[in-house]
Amino acid sequence: MKALVILSGGQDSTTCLFWALQKYGTNNVCAIGFDYSQRHVSELDFAKQICDAQNVPFTVISLPIIAELTNNALTNSDMNVDDTKPENTHPNTLVEGRNLLFLTYAAVFAKERDIKILVTGVSESDFSGYPDCRDIFIKSCNVTLNMGMDYPFVIETPLMWRTKSQVWQLANKLGVLETIRTQTLTCYNGIPGDGCKACPACHLRQKGYNEFMSLP
């Protein structure tokens, strides 16, 4: 069984890459990333480095249309990233339709290569206000892709019910804790490893790491 991992180069998707490699084997895994004019686009360089080291084929798809259609802090460098999620609304780092488009393009790519497994690192446990990270969305998207493309896709979400602390635990179990800690880019400001320590992505990542390190 072959699997396609949607890989950004961040903590979650890179952990999913190693999860897929263990489950499906090196010869059965490839990865796809997306350049949507994100402010931390250098994350894709880290994704490529990881894939090269693991002999995983990695393809980058350019989707600048996302930045043209929606205004948010990840594609508009003139907008400051919210330090915290505003009440009763989404954070300004929400990129509308991002995961829907990623999964759609990944599905087209996968079907052409006889790949049925799509792996994505979305999580509902550490919900950041992104509606397209919820389990109900993924299940709905899975059904829609299968019907719309007449193909038996299975969308795997290894992190769906894991907190950030549990994601670190998984990385440790997979034997790649230091790789994930030092060779991924999660920071919205484009700083690898521990990041800028100020943006929401860095806060969530560090909080999870601290909780993981405090475990007995």
Give a yes or no: residue 215 inside a domain.
no
Instruction: Specify the amino acid at residue 214.
Output: S
Give a yes or no: residue 169 inside a domain.
no
Taking only the tens of pLDDT, the chain with its 216 residues reads 999 999 999 999 999 999 999 999 999 999 999 999 999 999 999 999 999 999 999 999 999 999 999 899 899 988 988 766 566 678 888 899 999 999 999 999 999 999 999 999 999 976 567 899 999 999 999 999 999 999 999 999 999 999 999 999 999 999 999 999 999 999 998 999 999 998 889 999 999 999 999 988
CA distances from 126 to 18, 195, 197 (A): 20, 19, 18
We report the CATH number of the domain holding residue 79 as 3.40.50.620
Number of structural domains in the chain: 1
pLDDT tens readout for residues 97-139: 999 999 999 999 999 999 999 999 999 976 567 899 999 999 9
| Residues 155, 121 contacting (CB under 8 angstroms) | no
Give a yes or no: residue 108 inside a domain.
yes
Q: Indicate if the alpha-carbon torsion angle 10, 168, 139, 126 is positive or negative.
A: negative
Give a yes or no: residue 204 inside a domain.
no
Give a yes or no: residue 151 inside a domain.
yes
| Residues 151, 145 contacting (CB under 8 angstroms) | yes
Parent domain of 142: 3-164
